[in-house]
A and B are shown apart, each in its own frame.
Chain A
């Protein structure tokens, strides 16, 4: 009954690395042209293929079929090729090998607020962004009121976008995107930022859309989102499909692989590893709220539960907070003494945790004496869903998400 809407056969994408740096300036090209004139006008395939070591396959042999109405999650580490695959499917870039047949109208959302212009008003930006995402003028006119209501910006709709707060800009951008109703929707990790309430609203809208028989391909680092949204997951690793199957099979395998990686690299993972067991961690939140999501600026309370089969006379327990790119954000180390066998919870309390929205992981470990006994990636991931206080553009975000006050005072003035 179901029909295939995306049929991908051995898609591959090769980038020639270093190309940008090499040909950035025309004067270099002119100098190079002395040696090989053909390169001035376009790099043709012959020269492209002979460049050997400077090439990188971002994707290789990607084959899969996606059926109508499926919601497929695309997971993998940073740089695994997820976004490249999405860019090929959305036709932003073209593959080097293979092909994919797409049946049906396709829309893509690789970024929030694509095409927004600060000088234009909210209203004008709705039309512009809508058109760029593939909506017709009539369609946007018909949905305009809904968009404004969804974004909750009705009072400012005729003000230039540059006067909007970043939160308002985000909401407006999401609201336009949420109205996108193609038959196939490709979504990059655009929902990772923005405040949590609004994220939920968008996810809700997306699953609503999929009930109407639409197909969604969805990239995310947040396994909680993937679990909630997707029935099927494709796990991409180093440019190839590592596993493709039901979410219930693939996500745990992926999480195991993430944990396994540090175990393998850990200094002394053997020996005691079956002794102590990390059971869980969670924020101390109200009933019903997701226990791995931070929605406020503090104080932050969380607990880590660990089972000790044997007593620890004197040792220590350490916990690391690690961000998406593997940087250590915070490290706590605590003495342990006279611990009897049993299950213990470690209650932590931080005055504040002002880090930028996104996904993080905890790594916990225990020392018995000076001997490292065990370490675990404490899954699920920790998701920070606080409101961005500064710029929402990824490239300008630092590590801290802190509100800063500023006043200007003249110290000395030049008299004329």
Chain B
């Protein structure tokens, strides 16, 4: 009997160790994610290239790089106050699923999502070399210009440096407020500006 008990215990521990190792999710890059992985657990890491916050509290992230992203839905039941900003670096442990023909990685628990905050850049650090790139910038609002009913142009200033933020959504921002926003840099009539697509890309 003792021998059987010992054998069971040792074999059990070996199987537990092997099982834990085998069930660890595979670390993947967004470009390596394929439909053959649907159903398996993966560990995906990358930058938040886009995010959309649903009125019900769900947060839909696009994680990856400039040319390839994967959708990561963070449902409100899972967020529990978790804050994710554009361009933050995230590591997501989740199951690969297919939703409307697109691959997505769905985490099951709050612990499955790790976020490393990307600090915003200063106004003076954004130059013409950044045109076409996604940036996160912080500054003080010097002037607010309403552009019709739905858009707003903010002028951020820092000493001598000035940068325009084009908000493509209705926003209530007062001059003097300090804001952080993420968007793509473009040249408009010879001036640099950052186009902010959604309200969830603006942090007051």
Q: Do these two chains interact?
A: no
A interface, CB within 8 angstroms of B: none
B interface, CB within 8 angstroms of A: none
